[in-house]
């Protein structure tokens, strides 16, 4: 089972981070930290297919679950990371129920969706245990364990959050608090009543439909707060900023 799902079913928090450094070595290092997953960002980071495959392989080797944030809603953007072995997709800028239905078609095999099939790394090129048992077993495993997580960071997604979380094939929601606050006209005002109401609405919809609730957090203190509020998973920080801050602290210590 997907380790993130395992923790969710046990009522345990999962913790991850973004990688934007474009380095498989950085991904492998993150696997030595105790994090549950690494989120490979192709939305705000210019990465190619070669890095994506290398990063997913490095994550697997280091024992950390690889997720990918794709950069558009299209068949190739969904299919390729899954074929390479990504164990879940985060999809930004979702606005409508129709967009989510399209994502389900691309990301899930029949009978849930219509994902394209080819023997790829995802199924051990046809030689992993599930693949050898036949396509029905392989399809069921992928549909069950490959996560499809739309981001709620727009007014449209927020308005349709009940319908979206109720959809078969949707495994959870990833809250993007920065863009959501901008969409609500209260940039970075995370304690504003409208923002608190929106986030409570998202959490309630996830709970009602037994779907996972993820959220991005800028630091560890915020992550602890969000976990206490009931989020199932917190994605804390990103490696580029962590690296910068660590070296800034080192330099300050040397000069102090």
Kindly report the CATH number assigned to the domain that includes residue 195: 3.20.20.60
Question: Residue 201's pLDDT is what?
Answer: 98
87: DSSP letter: S
Q: Per-residue confidence at 45, pLDDT binned at 50, 70, 90?
A: confident
Nearest to residue 90, comparing CAs of 75, 69, 108?
69
Residue 116 has pLDDT above 80, yes or no: yes
CA distance 125 to 245: 41
Question: Residue 181's pLDDT is what?
Answer: 98
Residue that the structure tokens 């164990």 belong to: 87
Question: Residue 124's pLDDT is what?
Answer: 92
Tokens encoding 232: 């199932």
List the domain range (segments joined by +) for residue 85: 3-255
Residue range 183-221, pLDDT digits in tens: 999 999 999 999 999 999 999 999 999 999 999 999 999
Residue 233 β-bridge partners: 14, 214
Question: Residue 113's pLDDT is what?
Answer: 98
CA distance 13 to 79: 28
- The CA-CA-CA angle for residues 40, 142, 118, to 5°, reads 90
Nearest to residue 4, comparing CAs of 35, 50, 40, 47?
35
Residue 175 β-bridge partners: 152, 215
Which residues does the annotation mark as catalytic?
44
Question: Residue 107's pLDDT is what?
Answer: 98
Question: Residue 49's pLDDT is what?
Answer: 86
Q: Are the C-beta atoms of residues 43 and 174 closer than 8 Å to each other?
A: no
Mean pLDDT of the chain: 96
Question: Residue 47's pLDDT is what?
Answer: 82
Domain count, the chain: 1
CB environment 15-51: b (16+ within 10 A), e (fewer)? bbbbbbbbebebbbbbbeeebbbbbbbbbebebeeeb
CA distance 199 to 256: 42
Exposed/middle/buried for residue 11 (C-beta within 10 Å: 0-12, 13-18, 19+) = exposed
Q: Per-residue confidence at 26, pLDDT binned at 50, 70, 90?
A: very high
Distance, C-alpha 110 to centroid of its chain: 22
Q: Per-residue confidence at 132, pLDDT binned at 50, 70, 90?
A: very high
Neighbours of 119 (CB within 10 A): 13
């Amino acid at each position: 089972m997907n380790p993130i799902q395992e923790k969710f079913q046990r009522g345990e928090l999962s913790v991850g981070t973004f990688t934007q450094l474009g380095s498989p070595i950085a991904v492998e290092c993150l696997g030595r930290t105790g994090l549950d997953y690494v989120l490979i960002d192709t939305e705000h980071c210019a990465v190619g297919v070669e890095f994506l495959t290398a990063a997913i392989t490095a994550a697997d080797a280091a024992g950390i679950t690889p997720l990918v944030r794709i950069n558009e809603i299209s068949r190739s953007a969904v299919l390729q990371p899954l074929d390479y072995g990504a164990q879940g997709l985060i999809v930004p800028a979702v606005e409508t129920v129709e967009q989510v239905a399209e994502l389900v078609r691309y990301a899930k095999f029949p009978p849930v969706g219509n994902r394209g099939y080819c023997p790829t790394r995802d199924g051990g090129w046809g030689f992993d245990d599930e693949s050898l048992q036949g396509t029905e077993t392989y399809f069921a495993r992928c549909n069950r364990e490959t996560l499809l997580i739309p981001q709620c960071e727009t007014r449209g997604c927020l308005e349709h959050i009940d319908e979206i979380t109720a959809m078969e094939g949707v495994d959870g929601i990833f809250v993007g608090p920065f863009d959501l606050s901008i969409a609500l006209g209260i940039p970075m005002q995370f304690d504003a009543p409208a923002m608190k109401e929106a986030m409570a609405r998202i959490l309630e919809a996830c709970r009602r439909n037994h779907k996972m609730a993820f959220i991005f957090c800028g630091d560890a203190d915020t992550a602890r707060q969000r976990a206490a509020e009931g989020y199932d998973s917190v994605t804390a920080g990103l490696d580029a900023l962590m690296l910068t801050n660590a070296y800034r602290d080192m330099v300050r210590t040397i000069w102090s």
